[in-house]
Amino acid sequence: MTKPVRLALLGCGTVGTEVVRLLHEQAADLTARVGAPLEVAGIAVRRAGRDRGPLPVDPALFTTDALGLIKRDDVDLVIEVVGGIEPARGWLVEAMRAGKSVVTANKALLAEDGGTLHDAAAEGGVDLYYEAAVAGAIPLLRPLRESLHGDTITRVTGIVNGTTNFILSAMDATGAGFTEALDEATELGYAEADPTADVEGFDAAAKAAILASLAFHTRVTAADVHREGITEVTAADMASAKAMGCTIKLLCIASRGPDSAGVESVSVRVHPAMIPVSHPLASVGDAFNAVFVEAVAAGQLMFYGRGAGGAPTASAVLGDVVAAARNHLAGVRAASESAYAALPIRPMGEAVTRYHISLDVADRPGVLAAVAGVFARHDVSIATVRQASVPPGPAGGPSGSATRGGDADLVIVTHAAPDAALAATVAELRRLEIVRSIASVLRVEGEGS
């Protein structure tokens, strides 16, 4: 019998237990695909004695000494499903320097300090795979890393956080407000007890950094990503979106192109945005993920599937394990990180987008002229204006507002312009005496400008 490839598993939570289960259930197939059996050498956990249900492994394999397990001579590959920056970073660097390939699902670590991991992989001459770190089971990183290497990717637009997509889909379907929809998500297990990382966009920003790095051959970290969450999206915003034939999604958008000075650069941002219901991303409901990729020769591509959950994430982990194990047996290393382009990162002010602005203004002559003048001063071109006298209809008006005699709702959608010019326009509108309040400001994505 061929010598097995021996695995150290770091972490045994939701994903880890699924990895163990799949390794056991699919053992015969995995052996055939790898060319040797995959064997669990040890499982590092925080508390060794904890009840993990009927797992198909010898309880003696559990240890609390992760570093000791990694360093063992009979360990060939390391799988990390613990998450967080430390101690994971130290463990993985140690493993790779010792010549052991790593498969990890740790998006936070890759987004914060992927460079250190890639450097350690190069130093140790080993593989670093992380398909599970973005969009769970969806095979996305390998296509970006390999299949599209003969092409130039210009833009990646993704729904990469299932919790926020569940919340926004619920708001769209029922007219609920953010808090109500979040409560439902928590009840159904789609949101964690502390939902901050999801609803404030931190999780999506980490994934955006990883996607942008691969798409543009440039190291992008989470700190480079402009981030806005969905906590301020209101039922009225959703109603406005619907009135425009749109819905609201939390998008991660990574694009490349010349900045205002003509320098080719990269822009990476995460924020809620209106997209037309006809856009392929608009129909991505519940906790599903999808990533829309635009490339010069390939045109438009979309990848869709489950972005989280134990089994889907374990599927992605095991795909990487099979690849790393084959390379280990063949004594070769997969193509490493490609960061040769090293494009500069553009600040958010230079990102080109469109705004949907809903204003509550005095209903008297000259108001539109004054408002339009503000847009003109900032060189922002207006695409559409819609005016309605108050009391507002179901669309466009701030929800819950009492009747305000003599007021009107003004809904303005701009053409594409730099975000700084759009933000400055909104700031100046806010200072206009005739503007009573700004009911909502949302970016509009996913269509020509």
Site residues for its own copies per CB under 8 A = 18, 22, 26, 29-30, 32-33, 131, 137-139, 142-143, 146-152, 217, 280, 283, 295-306, 309, 311-312, 314-323, 326, 330, 332-333, 335, 338, 340-341
- Count CB atoms within 10 A of the CB of residue 217: 18
CA–CA gap between residue 247 and residue 229 (Å, rounded): 16
> Minimum CB separation from its own copies for residue 127, in Å?
12
- Residue that the structure tokens 């070769």 belong to: 332
Sequence-distant (≥ 6) Cβ neighbours of residue 117 within 8 angstroms: 89, 92, 93, 96, 102, 104, 109, 110, 128
Q: Are 171 and 286 in contact (CB under 8 A)?
A: no
Helix and strand numbers (H, E) in the chain are 14, 17
The nearer residue to its own copies, 173 or 332, going by C-beta atoms, is 332
Residue 124 Cβ vs its own copies, minimum distance, rounded to whole Å:
16
- Tell me how far, at minimum, the Cβ of 281 lies from its own copies, in Å: 11
Q: How far is CA 197 from CA 6, 172, 191, 207, 401, in A?
A: 34, 22, 10, 12, 31
Pairing of strands 153-159, 288-295: antiparallel
CB of 374 to its own copies, least distance (A): 40
Residue closer to its own copies, measured from CB, 131 or 445: 131
What torsion do the CA atoms of 226, 232, 238, 241 make, to the nearest 10 degrees? -40
- The runs of H, that is alpha helices, within 98-161 are 107-124, 141-145
Least Å from the CB of residue 51 to its own copies? 24
Ranges of H-type helices in 352-415: 367-377
Q: Compute the least distance from the CB of residue 31 to its own copies, in Å.
A: 9
What are the tokens at 7?
Answer: 């695995």
Measured distance CA(317)–CA(16) in Å, rounded: 10
* Least gap, CB of 128 to its own copies (angstroms): 15
For its own copies, the closer of residues 31 and 437 by Cβ is 31
The pair of structure tokens assigned to 291 is: 């990533």
207 carries an active-site annotation: yes
Cα end-to-end distance, the chain, whole Å? 62
Measured distance CA(128)–CA(147) in Å, rounded:
18
Taking the C-alpha atoms of residue 208 and residue 159, their distance in angstroms, rounded to an integer, is 10
Euclidean distance between CA atoms 344 and 267, whole angstroms: 9
Rounded Cα distance between 396 and 394, Å, is 7
Nearer to its own copies, 18 or 228 (CB): 18
C-beta closer to its own copies: residue 158 or 418: 158
Contact criterion met (CB below 8 Å) for 391 and 220: no
Distance CA 292, CA 227 (A): 19
Report which residue type is found at 182: L
Torsion angle (degrees, nearest 10) of CA 77, 78, 79, 85: -150
CB of 310 to its own copies, least distance (A): 9
Catalytic residue (choose from 3, 71, 100, 207): 207
Residue closer to its own copies (CB basis): 298 or 362: 298
Catalytic residues: 207
